[in-house]
Structure 1
């Protein structure tokens, strides 16, 4: 029996598509070359482990002066990249909580970037418990982050249902006994919550 539902945030509750944002101000071929030559996602992983985004961005820009302006946009435009919210997923979060079902967040997110996101998206303050990688010092899919959640919340692994958009994160959770849902659309996630008996079809709309 499911006792708590765990939501990833990026691409589950709000969209996270940096390449799409960079395409709005760069030629497509130049953007592809930028992302091939500069590991912006590795920098973001360092942020998600607790690093400071402005400092890491500045250091990367200094290491790649030919892309300096574009790299610094990762910091300047961060909130624009982490958007928009996914309204149906937010409704599902609130529907679960309205029924008294504990809802947790487990997300790779920086300390500073999460604080920014909280200021824009009120639903990020509505979880019963939040497990944010920047504060934990470890990111998914490292097994340690799942163990830390289990130890803190006291819910047995088999009683946790976890939605994430990355297959490797789901696989790591399932290896610990969690039930996993690979998030593709909010409609499919709604169907899973109904199938698990957590929401009625009407509540999951």
Structure 2
């Protein structure tokens, strides 16, 4: 294949979450472990935020309202630590990304609210293209998400390469005609791209 660009997932590749903020917030508000995840991510509003039907702030405000309605005012204490936790950066992958960009353009595609660019800036993650599902109005693993990203990058899907830590999303990329691999380590990414002619 003639590689024109590389596309990456964000979470599990460049940004990792250990849920320390949620755990801290639950302790502060005297909530059972896992409460925040349930009220935030299991609620239909999270899917709406990920396709741009509401903003990240609107989604978080809804989480707060539901917590307070069920647990009282003490539940508000859970939200600030959870919201402040932006995960940890993968320095090895961020460094590799910059090396790859000297040879081919790179993009990031993530199932994310409209807050994605704030997280990219927070962690110093620089890419030539960045697509949140909230911007595309469709989430992975739909092939439509991958095709939209390729179109906005101006690249033929067959000449793009995608890495994601979720096998199901890799399947979605391949269904869109994009060669793809499951992300494991920075070394494996570098090895694969070198075989495709990328100078790293």
Category of TM-score, reference length = shorter chain: 0.7 to 0.9
Of 51, 54, 57, the match for 2:57: 54
Instruction: State the 1:39 CA deviation.
Output: 5.3
Counterpart residue number, 2:39: 38
Corresponding residue pairs, total: 193
> Over aligned residue pairs, what C-alpha RMSD do you find?
2.9
Q: Where has structure 1 moved over 6 Å in runs of 4 or more?
A: none
User: Bigger shift: 127-136 or 114-123?
Assistant: 114-123
71 and 138 in structure 1: CA distance in 2 versus 1, 3 angstrom threshold:
farther
Write the distance in 1 (CA, Å) between the matches of 2:57 and 2:15.
Answer: 22
Query: 1:35 and 1:61, CA in 2 relative to 1: closer, same or farther beyond 3 A?
Result: closer
Structure 2, gaps ≥5 residues long:
none
Tell whether the 8 Å contact from 2:150 to 2:160 is kept in structure 1 after alignment: no
Distance 2:120 2:37 in 1: 31
Counterparts of 1:74-113 in structure 2 under 5 Å?
77-80=82-85, 82-99=86-103, 101-111=104-114, 113=115
- The two structures have a TM-score, normalised by structure 1, of 0.78
8 Å CA contact 1:58, 1:72 repeated in 2? no
Q: Structure 1: where are the runs of 5+ without partners? A: none
Q: TM-score normalised to the size of structure 2?
A: 0.79
Separation of aligned partners in 1, 2:180 and 2:38: 34
Q: Aligned equivalents of 2:186 and 2:8: distance in 1?
A: 12
For the residues of structure 2 that align with 1:175 and 1:197, how far apart are their CA atoms?
24
Which deviates more, 34-43 or 167-176?
A: 34-43
Aligned to 2:124: 122
**Alignment match, 1:156:** 156
| Contact 1:54 1:75 survives alignment (8 Å) | no
Is the 8 Å Cα contact of residues 26 and 33 (structure 2) preserved in structure 1? yes
Within 2, Cα distance between the matches of 1:102 and 1:144? 21
Q: Is the 8 A contact 1:14 1:86 kept in 2?
A: yes
Deviations 1:110-161 (A, max 9, x none): 21x22422441332xx322222222222211122212212322332212111
